Chains A and B, each alone.
Chain A
Amino acid sequence: MSRRARKLGRGVALVGAGMSKFGAFPDKTSRDLFADAFTAMTRSVDKGMDTEDIEALYVGNFSSDLFEGQGHIAPIMADWVGLVPKPATRLEDACASGGVAIREGVIAIASGLYDVVLVGGTEKMTNLPTERVTDTLAAASDTVYEGACGFTFPGLYAAMATAYMARHGASVEHFMKVGIKNHNNGSLNPKAQFNKSIRDLMNSRIEKAKQKGEPVPEWSDELDFLKDPKANPVVAWPMRLFDCSPITDGAACVLLVAEDIAKNFSNDPLYIVGTGQGSDHALHERDDLTSIAAARIAAQQAYEMAGVQPEDIQIAEVHDCFTIAELVAIEDLGFFKHGEGYKATEQGLTARDGSKPINTSGGLKSKGHPVGASGVGQAVEIWHQMRGEAGPRQVPGKDIRLALTHNVGATGGTCVVHIYQRR
């Protein structure tokens, strides 16, 4: 099937980005978190902005209906940041809702309809008990045919991990190394839900045991700690607790404007030069369970639009809802060959000081995963890193001109990819 090359009708720039702290906040609703993110975003706009300038709101949210008993949240978010009566629309593609909201904002500006658009994502998850959160998340799978046989989300990604190990010879230790790396990054991110390295967590448990006069665990290093079923119980083999992203409350916002007015807002705007999105069958109807076809398609579209190759991308935020998902992501994006993502991770290539830093924010694993906000949160990290404002977790020795975000819904039913350029 032939098709014309896709391009944006006009250029789109990112001129502001901010997020709430990610974590568990019993006293905050999704609208409070959204207002926090909006406020952080407005402070990041170099030359300032006026709420009056914003013409429309797109907000990613997976399931405020089930998590909070609140549907139709887009006008509420608009109200809470002073945007009424501007048009406000909610986008839902499971955990890719935030990335999809950015894409719809980009399309709206590229079409010429709007010049200034607010894009956000918000999710309030921690007021339900864990089993009801799991049940709510399971609504994003094919509930009739996947739920009925006991595949929860950790279970579905665990099945991908089993297939990955059998095909490529990886071991559970390779998954653990993804978690160690992302926690190292998250330990330097004050907005992260778990801003502690695995080593810090291990040492604090040893300290606690000493204080209580209990037997002191003899863990030699992080891997040893992660292999201890008492410290790191199996959730769905081969995925253990520290292979899973947490349940999180949080929100994030970005301000998108037409390229020709970007300098009115920002001294140093970023330009969204590539966007792509794909869909896929239910897990059991896919040829290959060690890869996500929607991600490969989304990446290909984004690379083509931007006129760049995977090797041109200097840093990326990828969707590590489970540790296996990061290995699959860095292969699907073409950063490493199929089946070699685990070796690259083991060699440190994806660490902050490696050749291809991945998830410098801490990723969903350490930063947290408020599902509808996660895709927008990724863009916030790219904003800080590309402008050299990421503080102690700034990637060393790189002038970052091209970066990428990769946001997956469920087990890959949706994937959306964006490429950012700094000029």
Chain B
Amino acid sequence: MTQPAPASPLFWRFNPEVYRLIGIKCKDCGHISYPRTKICHECGSLNLEEYKLPKKGTVHTYCVNWTPPPTFEPPITPVIIDLEGGGRYQGLMTETSTPEDVKVGSKVEMVLRKVTTDRGLNVYGYKFRLVEEE
């Protein structure tokens, strides 16, 4: 229920969003919607353009999930990221030594990683890792 099977039509239908990070920017109100939509979520406009999400951002909020869905190994750190230039993305942190490394406001970037295993198959997607402050 929480994860489409890797070979399912649902999974491939959403391929451009999932791997190419294609969202939508409204030409009227500027709202960024991800996943792609045909109608702006914020103002209802049809005047939209495809928008490739940037891979960098900061942690808006997060939790440390000790009771994740069965295909994940706890603890995991799901995050909601404020992307550079606007828009948000929900994902998982990776490559943290302890969950305490993650803070609201931490700078992060997307990397392609195995997300989970579903019915014996690896499912890949973007995760976030911490980046050093410049």
Contacts and interface: CB of A to CB of B under 8 A. Distances in A.
B4 interface: yes
A284 B90 contact: yes
Interface in A155-169: 155-156, 158-163, 166
Given A159-B62, A163-B104, 17 more contacts: A131-B69, A131-B70, A138-B2, A147-B2, A148-B125, A150-B65, A150-B72, A159-B63, A163-B60, A236-B63, A236-B64, A237-B63, A238-B63, A283-B90, A284-B89, A284-B90, A285-B33
14 contacts: A135-B2, A138-B2, A139-B1, A145-B90, A147-B3, A149-B92, A149-B115, A150-B72, A150-B76, A152-B69, A163-B61, A236-B65, A237-B63, A284-B90
Contacts of B125: 148
A135 B69 contact: yes
Interface in B34-85: 34-35, 41, 60-70, 72, 76, 78, 80
A145 B92 contact: no
Interface string A224-246: 00000000011111110000000
Interface string A111-143: 000000000000000000001001110110001
A281 interface: yes
A411 to B, nearest CB: 11
Contact of B69 (A134, A144, A160, A284): A134
Contacts of B62: 159, 162
Contact of A166 (B35, B61, B65): B61
A334 B116 CA distance: 42
A236 B75 CA distance: 9
B14 A159 contact: no
B14 A150 contact: no
Contacts of B80: 159, 283-284, 289
A32 interface: no
Contacts of B10: 144
B84 to A, nearest CB: 15
The interface residues of chain A, by DSSP majority, are classed as helix
B61 A160 contact: yes
A154 interface: yes
A324 B80 CA distance: 18
B129 interface: no
B78 A239 contact: no
Nearest to A164: B61
Interface of B: 1-4, 10, 14, 33-35, 41, 60-70, 72, 76, 78, 80, 88-92, 99, 104-105, 115, 125
A289 B1 contact: no
Given A237-B63, A283-B80, A150 B89 contact: no
B114 to A, nearest CB: 13
B78 A159 contact: yes
A155 B65 contact: yes
A291 to B, nearest CB: 13
Interface centre among B35, B60, B64, B104 (most CB of A within 10 A): B64
Contact of A148 (B3, B60, B67): B3
A3 to B, nearest CB: 16
A159 B64 CA distance: 9
Contact of B64 (A148, A166, A234, A284): A234
Contacts of A136: 1
Contacts of A162: 61-63, 104
Contacts of A138: 1-2, 69
A158 B78 CA distance: 10
A25 interface: no
Contacts of A144: 4, 10, 14, 35
A280 to B, nearest CB: 10
Contacts of A265: none
A44 to B, nearest CB: 39
Contacts of A284: 34, 80, 88-90
B104 A166 contact: yes
A160 B61 CA distance: 7
B25 to A, nearest CB: 13
Considering residues B1, B41, B92, B104, which has the most beta carbons from chain A within 10 angstroms of its beta carbon?
A: B1
Pick the most buried of B10, B90, B104: most chain A CB atoms within 10 A of its CB: B90
B104 to A, nearest CB: 4
Given A163-B60, A234-B66, A284-B80, A150 B92 contact: yes
